[in-house]
Amino acid sequence: MLNKTTSLLADNLRKASVKETHLFEKIGESKVRCCTCERRCLIPDGGKGFCGTKYNIAGKLYTITYGSISSISINPIEKKPFYHYWPGSKALTIGTWSCNFTCPWCQNYSISKKKPKQTDEIIEPKALVKLAEEEGCQGISFSFNEPTLFFEYALDVFPLAKKRGLYCHYVSNGYMSAEALRLLVEAGMDAIKVDIKGSEQVVKRFCGAFPEPIWRNIGLAKELGLHVEVVFLLIPNVNDNIDDVKEIARRVRESAGEDTPLHITRFYPAYKMLNTPPTPISTLEAAVEEARKVGLNFVYIGNVAGHEYENTHCPTCKTLLIERYGFTVTRYFITPSKKCPNCGESIPIVGEPHKVIR
C-alpha cells in the first residue's frame, strides 16, 4: 500500500523531468540505495536523497531533474577552466539544481542551494545538441551546479553529441560513484575538470564529504582515457596552508600524472563567506611555485586576468606556447604535431586551437 507521499509522487510520474535512474539497489522490501554518487543515500519509500533530486517511489529510484535546466550559456572552454583541451573553443554549458556538497563559498549558490522540483519544462537531448550546433559551439559542458545530479540526462545527451562531432565533458566535484563515471565514459564523455576542495579535514568540515573517492575518480578517469584537469580554489584561512598545497600537488601527480594541469584559483567572497577577503596574489604565486617543485609541469593561476601564470610554457625550455588573457587565447605557438617550436618537446594538448592568433 502506497503511503501519502509516495502516492503523490507516483501521480506526478508523467512530469517530463521525472525518470527512473540507472544506478540504485533495492534494500529490503521498500528502501533503495542511490548509487550515483559516493553519498550512497539509503532512501525510504516516499523519501528523497541528500541532494533532493532522487526519490524512492514504490521501491524504485527516480530523478526529478531530467532535462530540467536552471542555467544555459555559451562559454569559452578556458572558463571551465580547461587549458589543454580544444583551446579557444566554445561549449554550450548547462546546469540543473541542487548539489551533493555543502561548500559555504559556492559561487553558484542561487542554483546549487535551490530545491529542485518536477517540471514539464525541459529541453530534450536532441534539441540541446541541435542548439549547440546552431550556436556554433564545439562541445557541450555539464557545469554550474554539480553535474552528477544530471547523470541520467548526460547519458542520453552525450551519445547524440558525439555523433555530431561535439566534445562532451563534466565540470565536477568528482564525487560520483565509480559506476557512474564508467557509464559516462561509455556514453561519450571525453574530459573532466575536478575541483579539489582541500585536505581531508577541509573536505569533511566544509563540504560534508570525504576526499578519497575524488582522488580515486581522478585516477580512474585517467585510466579510462579521459582528459583530466584539476582546480584548487585557494581560500584564505581555510585551505591555503602551504603544506596542504604541496600535498594536493603530490596527489594530482600520483593520481593522474605530472602533465595534468593544476589550476590554483583565486577566491572571491560569495554565499556564506562574504567576509573572507580575496586570496592575495602573492599567496597564489607561492602556491604555484611549490606545486611546480613537487613535479607538476603545468600549474596555473586562475581568476587573475593578465597574470603571467595564466600562460602555458614549455616545461623543458620555458618557451611561451599559449598566451591567455582571462578566458581568451591571444597567441598560440604549439606546432600542428603538438610540439614546442623551440625544442621539440611534446605538449599534452587535446584538440586543435579554434580561431586563435599564431
**Residues 309-320: tens digit of each pLDDT:** 999 999 999 999
Q: Name the residue with cell 581531508.
A: 200
Q: Where are the domains of the chain?
A: 4-63, 71-309
302-316 burial, b at 16+ Cβ within 10 Å, e below that, comes to: bbbeebebbbbbbbe
Res 227: pLDDT: 98
Q: Are 185 and 170 in contact (CB under 8 A)?
A: no
Nine-digit cell string for 225 = 582515457
Residue 285, helix vs strand vs coil: helix
Is residue 257 a contact partner of residue 297, using CB atoms and an 8 Å limit? no
Report pLDDT for 1. 38
Q: Is the pLDDT of residue 7 over 90?
A: no
Q: What pLDDT is recorded for position 356?
A: 58
Cis, peptide link before residue 348, omega less than 30° from 0: no
Note the CATH number of domain 71-309: 3.20.20.70
**Interval 115-137 mean pLDDT:** 96
pLDDT score of 2 more than 50: no
Mean pLDDT of 2-24: 70
3-class secondary-structure state, position 176: strand
Give the Cα separation of 299 and 138 in Å (integer). Answer: 25
In sequence order, the β-bridge partners of residue 309 are none
User: Model-level pTM greater than 0.85?
Assistant: yes
Residue 347 is predicted with a pLDDT of 98
Q: What is the pLDDT of residues 55-114, one digit of tens each?
A: 999 999 999 999 999 999 999 999 999 999 999 999 999 999 999 999 999 999 999 999
> Which grid cell sits at 262?
593544476
Check whether 170 has a pLDDT greater than 70: yes
Residues above pLDDT 90, as percent of the chain = 94
Identity (one letter) of the amino acid at 205? R
- Across the chain, mean pLDDT equals 95
Q: What is the Cα–Cα distance from 111 to 97, expressed in whole angstroms?
A: 5
